[in-house]
Structure 1
Amino acid sequence: MSVLVLRLAGPLQSWGSSSRFARRGTEIAPTKSGVIGLLAAARGIRRTEPLTELLGLEFGVRLDQPGQLLRDFQTAHSLDGRTSAPLTYRYYLTDAAFLVVLSGERELLHGLAEALSRPQFPLYLGRRSCPPAGPINLGVHDLTLDGALTTWPWLAADWYRRKAASTIRLEIIRDARPDEPVTETVPDEPVSFDPAHRQHTWRSVLRRHVDVTNDLAERAHITDHDPMSLLGG
Structure 2
Amino acid sequence: MEDKLMAGPDPIQAVLLLRLAGPMQSWGDQSVFNRRDTRPQPTKSGVIGLLAAAAGHPREEPLGDLLGLTMGVRVDQEGTLLRDYHTVSDYQDRPLPQAGVSAKGIQKPTSPAKYTHVTQRFYLQDAVFVAAVAGPAPLVHSLANAVTHPAFPLALGRRSCVPSQPILLGIKNDSILEALTSQPWQAGGHARGAFEKRHGRLARIDRMVTIEAADGDHVLHDEPVSFHPRDRRYATRRVTHLWRSIPTGFPDPVPPADASSAHDPFALLGW
SS at match of 1:162: helix
Is 2:14–2:171's contact at 8 Å kept on the other side of the alignment? yes
Gap runs ≥5 in structure 1: 220-233
Aligned to 2:212: 175
Is 2:27–2:38's contact at 8 Å kept on the other side of the alignment? yes
Aligned to 1:35: 47
Gap runs ≥5 in structure 2: 1-12, 96-114, 254-271
Q: What is the CA distance between 1:8 and its match in structure 2?
A: 0.4
Identity, % of aligned positions: 45
Which of 217, 226, 235 is the equivalent residue of 1:192? 226
**Residue type of the alignment partner of 1:211:** S
| Residues 214 and 51 of structure 1, relative CA distance in 2, 3 Å threshold | same
Aligned equivalents of 1:89, 1:81: Cα separation in 2? 22
Compare 78-87 and 102-111 and name the one that shifted more. 78-87
1:44-101 Cα offsets, whole Å, 9 max, x none, are: 1011100011011110000001101111111222242333452111110000110000
Aligned to 1:117: 148
User: Does 2:248 align with 1:211?
Assistant: no
**Residue type of the alignment partner of 2:94:** R
Count of matched residue pairs: 217
SS at match of 2:117: coil
Aligned equivalents of 1:137, 1:215: Cα separation in 2? 18
**Residue type of the alignment partner of 1:162:** G
Is 2:182–2:247's contact at 8 Å kept on the other side of the alignment? no
SS at match of 1:75: strand
* Pair member with larger Rg: 2
What are the within-5 Å matches in structure 2 for residues 53-202 of structure 1? 53-83=65-95, 84-164=115-195, 165=199, 166=202, 167-176=204-213, 178=214, 181-202=215-236
Q: What is the CA distance between 1:133 and its match in structure 2?
A: 0.6
Q: What is the CA distance between 1:144 and its match in structure 2?
A: 1.6
Aligned to 2:268: none
Is 1:163–1:217's contact at 8 Å kept on the other side of the alignment? no
Which of 27, 30, 35 is the equivalent residue of 1:23? 35
Q: TM-score, normalised by structure 1?
A: 0.88
1:8-66 Cα offsets, whole Å, 9 max, x none, are: 00000000012221111000000000000000001110111000110111100000011
SS at match of 1:150: helix
Aligned equivalents of 2:194, 2:58: Cα separation in 1? 43
Q: TM-score, normalised by structure 2?
A: 0.76
